[in-house]
Amino acid sequence: MSRPPGVVVITGSSSGIGAEAAVQLGRHGWTVCLLARRAEELESVAARVRAAQDTGAGGTVHAYPVDLTDDADTAAVVEQLLADHPRIDVLVNNAARSIRRPIRESLDRLHDYERTIAINYIGAVRLTLALMPRFLDQARRGDGGGHVVFSSTMSTQVPIPLFSAYLGSKSAAESFARSLLAEHGHEGVTTTIVHFPMVRTEMSSATSIYAAMPMMTADKAGRWIVKAVVDRPTRVTSLGGAAAQAGMSVLPGVLTKVVTPQIRRMDKRLARRTRPDS
């Protein structure tokens, strides 16, 4: 580990990528603050971190149940975080909601977009803004500033159909991350955007055809978060994601025409493989 352990706040840490990242960071001695709505699941993750702590290999852990779409609830948890921890080193905005639905079937479902943006974008911005005074104060004192990680998706780098609500909210969060870095990076408040491929989690499992799709494990995805927290690159992505992003910058129309038919064919193959009679 190239950076000494500190205090990290991880949202969406009751399961999936957030839970695995929390356990791994705890093993490396970080003080982990778990944020999510589900108190019972949060405590289960906290127990996993404490198990490493009991062996002398891990850091401490604190669970903070919270609804990040609620102003008052978020304000209360931020007040508690700031009271409990004299410094906060890293915020990981990992909580998310995904919806897979064609735009044609969403014409009377504006609420799909409102629900995804409420947590994926507004929730992340709400918490980031609330912790910014602490980060800026740490920067002014020459005490390391702060770092904000945004869990995103390779699908913002590639023209992907059927996820317009999810991808719109994630793209908004990425733009906010870039603005934050541009405005405050020189002061010591930095950002990382993590572009995950498909990861095997509760969220991805909600789409039945993805049972037949090879995916990154949550454990490996957690290691990507650890890299973002410890090494603090501007971006964590795959080679394919980086190449696609470059292609979209240069030839977006061509790449869209090439990629989207392949994705439609892939979805058809996955659907055949997951049929009960297949």
Q: Report if residue 213 sits inside a domain.
A: yes
Q: Report if residue 278 sits inside a domain.
A: no
- What is the residue-level pLDDT of the chain in tens, covering all 278 positions? 467 899 999 999 999 999 999 999 999 999 999 999 999 999 999 999 998 766 666 679 999 999 999 999 999 999 999 999 999 999 999 999 999 999 999 999 999 999 999 999 999 999 999 999 999 999 999 988 999 999 999 999 999 999 999 999 999 999 999 999 999 999 999 999 999 999 988 776 666 666 767 789 999 999 999 999 999 999 999 999 999 999 999 999 999 999 888 888 887 776 777 666 54
How high is the pLDDT of residue 143? 85
Task: Please tell me the distance from the alpha carbon of residue 97 to that of residue 60, in angstroms, as a whole number.
Answer: 28
What's the predicted TM-score (pTM) here? 0.92
Q: Report if residue 2 sits inside a domain.
A: no
If one counts the domains in the chain, the total is 1
Domain that holds residue 93: 7-273
The residues assigned a catalytic role are 166
Task: Please tell me the distance from the alpha carbon of residue 199 to that of residue 143, in angstroms, as a whole number.
Answer: 35
Q: Report if residue 32 sits inside a domain.
A: yes
How high is the pLDDT of residue 275? 65
CATH assignment at residue 28:
3.40.50.720
Q: Which residues are CB-neighbours of 218 under 8 A, at least 6 positions away? A: 16, 17, 19, 20, 199, 200, 201
